[in-house]
Amino acid sequence: MSPKMMFRLKLVCQLIIMSNYKNKKLLSGSAIIVSVVIMAGIFIMAFASAYMVITSTSREIKISESLKAEQVVNSGIERFKHEIYSNSFDLSSADCNSDLFSLSGEDYSYVINCLDIGDDRKVYISATYKNKTIAKEILLPFICGFDTVLYEGYEYGTVRIGRQCWLSENLNVGSIVTSSAASPCIDVSGGGVWSCQNNNSQIEKYCYDNNSSDCIGYGGLYEWTEALNLPYECGYNVEFFDNLDGTYTGICNGSEYVIESKHQGICPEGWHIPSQSEFVDLISYLGVNAVDAVKSFSIDSPSWDGNNSSGLSIPPSGIRFAASSFSDKYSYTNIWTNSPSGTIFGLAYEVYVDLSSNLDNRHAGFSVRCLKD
């Protein structure tokens, strides 16, 4: 009942009483009963109204505290993501017996910790605002350096280097083809440049010395066009024009093809063939000893003469020459970028005495290392 209605009822009771008083008459029994009932009703309504106000206020306080507690949760989750993605926090080596992160203020606090359940490591947050506490699991889509990538039946490790996330192994995907200077390989130049990865409908790879076991640990060797998932016809006597925005455009095999700045090629979805500028960023981050930092260590498998301080674990995979022979396993490797040059070259980074760029025939067979978008 509204305050206005209660006031009117109270006024009616007063008028009844005053009217009888002026006429010097005693209230009849029925009038007394009516007045008592009305006054009792007014009291009950007033009490109920006050109770509803108190209850409503209490409910609003609880709702407000719940909302504030949710805000504290979200703040903690954003802090954890920042530590993972911007500060390179390594969840895989964290101690789950201690709090990972915590924060407290006058009315709020949160604690983030982890728990190993089987082979999975889960992260939880418990946040409090005044009298309200909320606990929940922090779900992250991907944590570089902890999560792996399942691609074509093989599970690849990942490693974070600065702001970049790399596969920690050379790509090893596709059907094995034999490298030779004879059919079914194709002499694309008419002068000894042989492409044996010439089936445009599937991914193909070379294994060093045509030995399938050499793809294990070392990865496959791919022609530049194969790595970028372009027709093999794009490899020789085809110019890709620089669009000055990180992309390139060329015409081959009767169609126009665009090399994107983050070109997936034969990498898993969400990953791409690294660009020259991304290799430059890698080298800049690792500093003067970049080549030692990316080479696998003597105790790694496969081993090399680096220290692998980056965790990139590049093995000495060797190369496949465009003339069809193999060379330099155990001492040298090249990794393709997405960058074309001229009409027959692609840009690669050689891992040898240093980590530097070089141009080579697009039909040479080099390693592929994928970078996360």
Contacts of residue 221, defined as CB under 8 A and 6 or more positions apart, other chains included, come to 205, 206, 207, 208, 317, 318, 319, 320, 365, 366, 367
What is the β-pairing status of strands 371-372 and 271-272? Answer: antiparallel
Burial of 242 (0-12, 13-18, 19+ CB in 10 A): middle
Are β-strands 204-205 and 175-176 bridged in parallel, bridged antiparallel, or unpaired?
parallel
pTM: 0.72
Domain count within the chain: 3
Q: Which residues contact 294 (CB under 8 A, 6 or more apart)?
A: 282, 286, 306, 308, 310, 312, 314, 351, 355
Tokens representing residue 78 in the block: 């954003």
Asked if 44 and 36 touch (Cβ cutoff 8 Å), the reply is no
The CA distances from residue 201 to 197, 231, 266, 273, in Å, are 10, 9, 12, 19
**Is residue 264, in this structure, part of any structural domain at all?**
yes
Q: In terms of domains, do 110 and 228 share one?
A: no
Long-range (24+ apart) CB contacts under 8 A made by 109-116 are 109/72, 110/72, 110/73, 110/75, 110/76, 112/76, 112/79, 112/80, 112/138
Domain limits for position 112: 71-137
Tell me whether residue 213 is in a domain: yes
Question: Is the same domain home to 312 and 164?
Answer: yes
Whether residue 184 is found in the same domain as residue 320: yes
Task: Point out the domain boundary residue: 92, 114, 137.
Answer: 137
Amino acid found at 4: K
Handedness of CA 360, 203, 326, 315 (dihedral sign): positive
Cis peptide before 340 (omega within 30 of 0): no
122 and 107 together in one domain: yes
On whether the CB atoms of residues 110 and 128 are closer than 8 A, the answer is yes
- The answer to whether residues 219 and 342 belong to one domain is yes
Pair (163, 278) in one structural domain = yes
Residues 130 and 275 in one domain: no
The pLDDT score that the predictor gives to residue 146 is 83
Residues 162 and 311 in one domain: yes
Sheet-wide strand order for 345-351:
333-341, 345-351, 355-361
- Give me the residue label for tokens 């990942």: 158
**119: three-class secondary structure by DSSP:** coil
Pick the last residue of a domain from 96, 115, 137: 137
Residue-level pLDDT, tens digit, the chain, 373 residues:
555 555 555 555 555 555 555 554 444 555 556 555 556 666 666 555 555 555 555 565 667 888 999 999 999 999 998 888 778 788 878 899 999 999 999 899 999 999 988 777 899 999 999 889 999 999 877 888 888 999 999 999 999 999 899 999 999 999 999 999 999 999 999 999 999 999 999 999 999 999 999 999 999 999 999 999 999 999 999 999 999 999 999 999 899 999 999 999 999 999 999 999 999 999 999 998 999 999 999 888 899 999 999 999 999 999 999 999 999 999 999 999 999 999 999 999 999 999 999 999 999 999 999 999 9
Domain co-membership, 40 together with 109: no
Is 362:235 a contact under the CB 8 Å cutoff?
A: yes
Quick one: 117 and 215 in the same domain?
no
Asked whether residue 109 falls in the same domain as residue 252, the answer is no
Under 8 Å CB-to-CB from 55, ≥6 apart: which residues? none
For CA atoms 328, 263, 174, 257, give the dihedral sign.
Answer: negative
- Based on the fold, state whether residues 321 and 198 are members of the same structural domain: yes
